[in-house]
Structure 1
Amino acid sequence: MSNILSALPQVLVDGLTLGAIYAVVALGYTMVYGILELINFAHGEIFMSGAFIGTGLLLSLGVFGIAMPAWITLILILLLTALLTGLLGIGIERLAYRPLRKAPRLIPLISAIGISFILQDLVRFFAEFKTGNYIVTGTTLFEGKVTIPFSSIIGTFHNATIKNNTLILIGITIIIMILLDIFVNRTKWGTAMRAVAQDQETAALMSINVNKVISLTFFIGSAIGGATGFLFAQQYATIDPYIGFILGLKAFTAAVLGGIGNIRGAMFGGLILGVLEVFAAANLSTITGGVIGSEYKDVFAFTILILVLIFKPEGLFGKSVKEKV
Structure 2
Amino acid sequence: MDALFLQQMVNGLTLGSVYGLIAIGYTMVYGIIGMINFAHGEVYMISAYLSAITLALLAFFGLHSFPLLILGTLIITVAITCAYGWVIERVAYKPLRNSTRLAPLISAIGISLILQNYVQLTQGARQQGIPTLLEGAARLDFAGGFVQITYTKIFILLASFIGMGVLTYIIKCTRLGRMCRATQQDRKMASILGINTDRVISYVFVIGAAMAALAGVLITMNYGTFDFYAGFIIGIKAFTAAVLGGIGSLPGAMLGGLILGIAEAQFSSVINSDYKDVFSFALLVVILIFRPQGLLGRPKVTKV
Same fold per superposition (TM over 0.5): yes
Q: Aligned partners of 1:10 and 1:66: how far apart in 2?
A: 36
Are 1:310 and 2:289 counterparts? yes
Q: Which residue of 2 aligns with 1:147?
A: 139
User: Which of the residues 13, 26, 31 maps onto 2:28?
Assistant: 31
- The code of the aligned residue for 2:286 comes to L
The CA deviation at 1:117 is 1.0
Are 1:167 and 2:164 counterparts? no
- The code of the aligned residue for 1:313 comes to P
Q: Aligned partners of 1:250 and 1:257: how far apart in 2?
A: 10
Q: Aligned partners of 2:84 and 2:301: how far apart in 1?
A: 36
Q: Aligned partners of 2:211 and 2:254: how far apart in 1?
A: 13
Q: Which residue of 1 aligns with 2:51?
A: 54
Q: Aligned partners of 1:324 and 1:40: how far apart in 2?
A: 25
Q: Which residue of 1 aligns with 2:67?
A: 71
User: Which of the residues 235, 238, 242 maps onto 1:251?
Assistant: 238
Structure 1: segments with no counterpart, 5+ residues: 285-292
Q: Which residue of 2 aligns with 1:13?
A: 10
The CA deviation at 1:107 is 1.0
Per-residue deviation, residues 297-325 of structure 1 (Å, max 9, x unmatched):
12222222222222211100111132243
Question: 2:3, 2:147 within 8 Å by CA — same for their partners in 1?
Answer: no
Q: Aligned partners of 1:125 and 1:100: how far apart in 2?
A: 28
Question: 1:59, 1:139 within 8 Å by CA — same for their partners in 2?
Answer: no
Task: Report sequence identity in percent.
Answer: 42
Question: 1:51, 1:227 within 8 Å by CA — same for their partners in 2?
Answer: no
Question: 1:81, 1:226 within 8 Å by CA — same for their partners in 2?
Answer: yes
- The code of the aligned residue for 1:141 comes to L
- The code of the aligned residue for 1:17 comes to T
Secondary structure class of the residue paired with 1:253: helix
The CA deviation at 1:69 is 1.6
The CA deviation at 1:227 is 2.1
Secondary structure class of the residue paired with 2:184: helix
Tell me how many residue pairs correspond in the alignment. Answer: 304
Q: Which residue of 2 aligns with 1:297?
A: 276
The CA deviation at 1:67 is 2.1
User: Which of the residues 247, 258, 263 maps onto 2:250?
Assistant: 263
Are 1:96 and 2:92 counterparts? yes
> Relative to structure 2, which stretch is displaced further, 44-53 or 5-14?
5-14
Per-residue deviation, residues 179-229 of structure 1 (Å, max 9, x unmatched):
111111111110100111111111111110111111111111101201210
Q: Aligned partners of 2:82 and 2:266: how far apart in 1?
A: 33
The CA deviation at 1:68 is 4.0
- The code of the aligned residue for 1:57 comes to T
Secondary structure class of the residue paired with 1:310: helix
The CA deviation at 1:140 is 2.9
The CA deviation at 1:160 is 1.4
Q: Per the alignment, do residues 294 and 304 of structure 1 end up closer, same or farther by CA in structure 2, a change over 3 Å counting?
A: same
User: Which of the residues 265, 274, 278 maps onto 1:278?
Assistant: 265
- The code of the aligned residue for 1:71 comes to P
Q: Which residue of 2 aligns with 1:290?
A: none
Secondary structure class of the residue paired with 1:159: strand
Secondary structure class of the residue paired with 2:134: coil
- The code of the aligned residue for 2:273 comes to S
Question: 1:84, 1:223 within 8 Å by CA — same for their partners in 2?
Answer: no
User: Which of the residues 204, 223, 228 maps onto 1:217?
Assistant: 204
Question: 2:22, 2:212 within 8 Å by CA — same for their partners in 1?
Answer: yes
Q: Aligned partners of 2:126 and 2:203: how far apart in 1?
A: 32
Q: Which residue of 2 aligns with 1:288?
A: none
Structure 2: segments with no counterpart, 5+ residues: none
TM-score by structure 1 length?
0.91
Per-residue deviation, residues 251-290 of structure 1 (Å, max 9, x unmatched):
0000000000000000000000000001001101xxxxxx
TM-score by structure 2 length?
0.97
Q: Which residue of 2 aligns with 1:138?
A: 130
* Greater radius of gyration (CA): 1
